[in-house]
Amino acid sequence: MKNIFVPGLTAVQREELESIAGSEEMRFHGLMDYDSLVKVTVVDFEKLLGEAREELGAFDGSVDAIIAHWDFPVSIIAPMLAAERGLPAPSLESLLKCEHKYWSRLEQLKSIPEVVPGFCAFDPFADDALDEISLEYPFWIKPVKAHSSDLGFMITNEDEFWDALEEIRSEIENVGDAFETVLERVDLPAELEELGGNACIAEQLVTGTQFAPEGSVAGGEFAVHGVFHMRKDEAGTSFDRLSYPTADVPAEVQERAIDVSRRFLEHIGFDNGCFNSEFMWDEETGALSLIEFNTRISQSHSEMFLKVDGVSNHQVAVAVALGRTPRMPDGKGEFDVAGQYMIFHDEDAVVTRVPGPEEIAEVEKRHPGTVVTLEIAPGDRLSQLPGQDSYRYRLGKIYLGAGDHAEMDEKYARILDELDFGFDEEEQ
């Protein structure tokens, strides 16, 4: 019996893990809890790492694999713990060459320059921070490390820049200080030594169709097991849905992105880990731009793999973590297409009501193949929740399966109407 540890394991993820081949010979254990690792707003990396070590050390049995599917700090803690125990894991330096947004861009310029948009680093606390940016408007600014898209802003003029910087300055250290303690564990290139974990990056705005290959490198063998389409809302600022498999990106463009991913990961020496990479394809010009690399499977993709391929992508993550060659079935699931649709609220508010378990169960029963997960509770103020973007607030997600993409969109609209939320937008 193999003991597999999963930091921040949820009930939904446990079900997805139990779908993988050979799961009857595995025992899945949560390592620390979701609230401590994912829902936390201020990260104390050393404290979390110490608590995870202590919890593993107290386990009476073998620790055979540790997998991650959450962003920082889990994306660093899990492979560090695995490496300490001699289990397969990427090196810390290769992880940071993906996780540190500016360091990653520098390494991308060395290996895949044809897909790198314009960028530059800047100190968000500098009085002349705007003078450090060499890009023309519009551009994005974001910390070199943050929760999801938290503290990311599109800037079109000087006033917007200083307004965004005010918010960044007030919150960046919540994660940046913890990231700094990780950076101290490796030898940094000269370009990064003075920046620290609370630096920011400005990046050229790129537009088009966004998509994401997900794959792994196991024992030096690179492989991709799925490609996702990432669709934005009508305003073009927030992702409102993912779909699998992608129907809007030609095979040739997908192959270019996959080749770019392989070349970059080989360049930084990334091995014995999973990844997902995000690209933007401009259909008019044919230009392909790399957005970022994530050093894990995406937990957002798991349910969609299960619906289309019959098993979750945990099958790959577990195989890699056990030192085995990963294998994924193709099209063995119940549905031809699957999607993850966001549930958004556009204004800051205090949550007064969310659908209860029985209501959600009824919705899922009326629409077979549907899974509803909520990230809020009554009493929550939306703007104070971690991992939110700067434009609208995420309440949860709806996972769907269907025969085609049009049917799936219609199904989502019906389900959204059936979910009853309440908000107080006047309460301060």
SS3 letters for 37-65? Answer: HCCCCCCCHHHHHHHHHHHHHCCCCCCCE
Token pair in block for residue 149? 């898209």
Q: What's the Cα-to-Cα distance from 386 to each of 145, 146, 380, 383, rounded to whole Å?
A: 14, 10, 11, 8
- Residue 234 — very low, low, confident or very high, per pLDDT cuts 50/70/90? low
Taking the CA of residue 410 as centre, how many other CA atoms within 13 Å lie in the half-sphere pointing to its CB? Answer: 6
Strand partners, 139: 155, 204
Residue 130: Cβ-neighbour burial (10 angstroms; 0-12, 13-18, 19+) = middle
pLDDT reading at 96 higher than 80: yes
Instruction: Kindly tell me if the per-residue pLDDT of 237 is higher than 70.
Output: no
Residue 42: φ, ψ to 5°: -115, 120
Q: What angle do CA 12, 242, 357 make, to 5 degrees?
A: 35
Q: Is the pLDDT of residue 240 over 90?
A: no
Going by pLDDT thresholds of 50, 70 and 90, the confidence category of residue 162 is: very high
**Is residue 236 very low, low, confident or very high in pLDDT (cuts 50, 70, 90)?**
low
Domains, the chain:
2-95 (3.40.50), 118-204 (3.30.1490), 209-424 (3.30.470.20)
The predicted pLDDT at position 391 comes to 63
Residue 428 pLDDT greater than 80, yes or no: no
List the alpha helices (DSSP H) in 184-270: 190-193, 251-268
Lowest mean pLDDT among 19-23, 25-29, 110-114: 19-23
The span from the CA of 255 to the CA of 264, in Å, is: 14
Mean pLDDT within 206-226: 95
Residue 168 main-chain phi, psi, to 5 deg: -60, -45
Q: Among 85, 82, 96, which residue's Cα sits nearest to residue 272? A: 82
**Backbone dihedral angles phi then psi of residue 235, each to the nearest 5 degrees:** -75, -15
What pLDDT score does 330 carry?
84
Run of H or E residues at 142: strand 139-143
Cα–Cα distance for residue pair 100/78, rounded to 1 Å: 17
pLDDT band at 27 (very low <50, low <70, confident <90, very high): very high
pLDDT surpassing 90 at residue 233: no
Range with lowest mean pLDDT among 49-53, 164-168, 270-274, 404-408: 404-408
The span from the CA of 63 to the CA of 369, in Å, is: 34
What does the pLDDT read at residue 299?
Answer: 83
pLDDT, tens digit, 9 for 90 and up, residues 253-292: 999 999 999 999 999 999 999 999 999 999 999 999 999 9
pLDDT bin (cut points 50, 70, 90) of residue 387 is low
pTM of the complete model: 0.89
Tell me the C-alpha distance between 101 and 37, whole Å: 21
Say if residue 392's pLDDT is above 90: no
In angstroms, the CA 22 to CA 83 distance is 24
* Cis peptide bond N-terminal to 368, omega within 30: no
Three-point CA angle 395, 399, 405, nearest 5°: 120
pLDDT score, position 389: 64
Tens-place pLDDT, residues 163-183: 999 999 999 999 999 999 999
Question: Dihedrals φ, ψ of 291, to 5°?
Answer: -90, -55
Provide mean pLDDT across the span 345-372: 92
